[in-house]
Amino acid sequence: MMFSCTDTQNIVEINKLQKVYKSGGQKLEVLSDLSLSVENGEFVAVTGPSGNGKSTLLNMITGIDRPTMGEVLVNGCPVHLMNENELATWRGKNVGIIFQFFQLLPSISLLQNVVMPMEFNGIYRRKERRERALHLLGLVGLADQANKLPGMVSGGQQQRAAIARALANDPPLLIADEPTGNLDSRSAESIFELFQGLVDDGKTMLMVTHDMEIAQRMPRIIEIRDGNIVCDSLPAPEIFSKSQPHTALVERGV
């Protein structure tokens, strides 16, 4: 490993992040001078209009994409300094990622989809993997669907399986990009409740959502416009990380 991790109190620490995309001689500044700290155990909604940099921000935290300038520390590890190999190993252990369109492999069972990240990272022993995957599928209410292919279950069930997969290596941080954007409202609600339970169990979670009814139920809401944070609701200490409704938005900085 070429990078070293320092001790930080915050699970996510972003300093003066800038991302510029260049295409056809044009430069597009998608994130500009964005700083953000997220403490262990927080449940954070990321909101804002389409095309304003939300996915780009999440992709910097997961190391799917690289900043042009600035720092991204996750658990004190400099994600922006890691090479592709380092990132692949690091990501598996440290971050669970949940996408809008689930991204399950279609030709293998839900169970195998959950086992796969364990095989890649090798944290759990070979003998334990299947049992752990079954346990995780049970946790998301899919114990009886484990051997089905993704195409044989509903969208809500596919997203549950994707959550089980994200939990495969027990990462402390979960990152979800519009996880309920492709679901009916009942499935969306059950996915949200699942996330709440995970946060109550100690996970930290950042979730992009356009659903303000859902966002308003999260303890902290960050609004992104034009590549920066224009609004950050700060949780009052007594409700911090308790997943209670919280409506007071505090303008910060802008």
Nearest-angstrom CA–CA distance, 31 and 68 = 9
Which residue, among 70, 19, 14, has the nearest Cα to 37 in the 3D structure?
Answer: 14
Candidate residues 4, 9, 23, 107; the one interacting with ligand ADP per rule CB under 6 A: 23
Residues in 37-56 that interact with Mg ion by CB under 5 A: 54-55
Q: Tell me how many residues contact ligand ADP (CB under 6 A).
A: 11
Interaction of residue 53 with ligand ADP, rule CB under 6 A: yes
CB contact at 8 A, 177 and 199: no
CB contact at 8 A, 233 and 249: yes
Interaction of residue 26 with ligand ADP, rule CB under 6 A: no
Residue 80: both structure tokens together: 């922006």
Interaction of residue 62 with ligand ADP, rule CB under 6 A: no
Interaction of residue 21 with ligand ADP, rule CB under 6 A: yes
33 or 193: CB nearest ligand ADP: 33
Give one word for 226, left, alpha or beta, with left for phi > 0 and alpha for psi -120 to 50.
left
* Span from 3-11, 50-58, 127-135, 236-244 in contact with ligand ADP (CB under 6 A): 50-58
Report the SS3 class of residue 53. coil
Interaction of residue 180 with Mg ion, rule CB under 5 A: no
Q: Which residue matches tokens 């520390």? A: 73
Interaction of residue 246 with ligand ADP, rule CB under 6 A: no
* Span from 44-52, 146-154, 210-218, 236-244 in contact with ligand ADP (CB under 6 A): 44-52
Question: What is the full DSSP assignment across 66-107?
Answer: --SEEEEEETTEEGGG--HHHHHHHHHHHEEEE-TT----TT
Least Å distance between CB 214 and ligand ADP?
16
Binding site for ligand ADP (CB under 6 A): 21, 23, 28, 30, 50-56
